[in-house]
Amino acid sequence: MHSTIKDVAAHSGVSIATVSRALNAPQLLNAETLAKVRESIQALDFMPSARGRQLRGVATRLVGVVVPTLANPVFAESLQGIDEAASASDYRLMLMTTAYDSARERRAIETLREQRVDGLIATVADAESNPLLDELDRIGLPYVLAHNDTAYRAAVSVDNRRAARDGVCALLRRGHRRILMLAGSFAESDRARLRYRGYEDAMLDAGLMPQAPLELDFNAEDLPPSLLAHLSDPAHRPTALFCSNDRLAMIVIRGLRHAGLSVPHDISVLGFDGIPLGEWLSTALSSVATPNREIGRCAWRHLASRLGLPGDTSAGPIPFKLPHSVRTGATIAPLIDPAARTASLVSENPA
């Protein structure tokens, strides 16, 4: 049997009116009382009734948006697409970021629910097994995932596994065989896990043994010295590196150059996301390009359909996959045989 607002009031030792304020106007309560009520809500697994709010005809015309970070331009692009489409329907956005942290992800979604948003668009750490999304399903709050590639929930994305495979195949076609993958933490991104499976697919299809991924904190600003040393060591250095997103690829390129290595002469680097900033670099970033702004727009169309907005009833099937492409850029190059490279250097610098 589900807990009621009366149960929460009794558990926390406050009035029903105080619990109601905690849910609907938390700014009116002092921090100690609000914390006490929230602890009781969590302990009792209490969920306010979204259906009841809908029956009362209350609509805030607010949509919550949850993304890991705005430091990665891919999410800023997606947000731009959501805002453009939502504004045209006279909806406002409330944005929360999670910094790839599961506790912050929970707080973000709870905060948006407290603000009585009509629906959510979110990018979460794990779309397949996520108790937060299970809760939203249970209470009936409409949501659509953006970038999460899952067959089990409403989501808009690219086919991450296939896209990664296509990217690694582009490296293989250029003669690379020693290809490593650098990824953000798998525990914090189901996208990174799927992209690694795409890397595995391409390597196995080519008769090569996939290597274990090199995992890096998504929030890192620089390569850890140990990782940079590994990539700089001629005995272990790959000829090509596939990065699970463009931001990591740019961090890698900067680190390698500081270590005296040339991209792509010493190591080819391929990113994933196709952010415009990558094309503006002096050496344009090679990347698996995804339509990030359109992912945001499409996520809004699907949410609008779930909200029953007029004119948004034919958003198409869910989950929805958008096309990707491989942008060759200038940070990947054909593998040059070491003997041929030595001969080339001698001809350029005769004794």
pLDDT digits (tens, 9 = 90+) for 288-326: 999 999 999 999 999 999 898 876 555 566 789 999 999
Half-sphere exposure of 255 (CA within 13 A, CB side): 20
Arithmetic mean of pLDDT, 217-242: 89
Q: How do the domains of the chain map onto residue ranges?
A: 1-46, 160-291+326-336
For residue 338, pLDDT over 60 is answered with no
Count other C-beta atoms under 10 Å from residue 172's C-beta: 18
Distance CA 138, CA 132 (A): 10
Instruction: Decide if 161 contacts 309 (C-beta within 8 A).
Output: no
Please, where are the H alpha helices in 97-188?
102-114, 131-139, 160-173
Q: Is the peptide bond before 319 cis (omega within 30 degrees of 0)?
A: yes
In the chain, the DSSP E strands lie at 62-67, 92-97, 119-122, 143-146, 155-157, 179-184, 214-216, 240-243, 268-273, 286-289, 320-321, 325-327
What average pLDDT is seen over the chain? Answer: 88
Dump the DSSP string for 125-150.
S-SSS-HHHHHHHHHT--EEEES---
| Helix 73-88 / helix 246-258 crossing angle, nearest 10 deg | 150
Helix or strand run (H / E) with residue 40: helix 31-44
Nearest to 102 by CA among 79, 130, 65, 128: 130
Fold of 1-46: 434 Repressor (Amino-terminal Domain) (1.10.260)
For residue 349, pLDDT over 60 is answered with no
Distance CA 120, CA 134 (A): 14
For residue 183, pLDDT over 50 is answered with yes
pLDDT tens digits along 237-293: 999 999 999 999 999 999 999 999 999 999 999 999 999 999 998 899 999 999 999
Is the pTM higher than 0.95? The answer reads no
CATH number of 160-291+326-336: 3.40.50.2300
* Confidence at residue 27, expressed as pLDDT on a 0 to 100 scale: 66
Arithmetic mean of pLDDT, 112-116: 91
DSSP bridge partners of 121: 65, 144
Q: Which residue is associated with the tokens 């009734």?
A: 49
pLDDT tens digits along 122-148: 999 999 989 999 999 988 899 999 999
For residue 56, pLDDT over 90 is answered with no
Model confidence at 193, pLDDT cuts 50, 70, 90, reads very high
* Confidence at residue 346, expressed as pLDDT on a 0 to 100 scale: 41
Nearest to 300 by CA among 85, 80, 140, 122: 85
* Confidence at residue 233, expressed as pLDDT on a 0 to 100 scale: 87
Distance CA 313, CA 307 (A): 9
Arithmetic mean of pLDDT, 89-118: 94
- For residue 25, give every residue at least 6 positions away whose Cβ sits within 8 Å of its Cβ, in sequence order, or none: none
Instruction: Decide if 246 contacts 212 (C-beta within 8 A).
Output: no
* Confidence at residue 308, expressed as pLDDT on a 0 to 100 scale: 86
* Confidence at residue 348, expressed as pLDDT on a 0 to 100 scale: 42
* Confidence at residue 336, expressed as pLDDT on a 0 to 100 scale: 75
> What percent of the residues of the chain are helix, what percent strand, and what percent coil, each to the nearest 5?
45, 15, 40
* Confidence at residue 110, expressed as pLDDT on a 0 to 100 scale: 92
* Confidence at residue 47, expressed as pLDDT on a 0 to 100 scale: 66
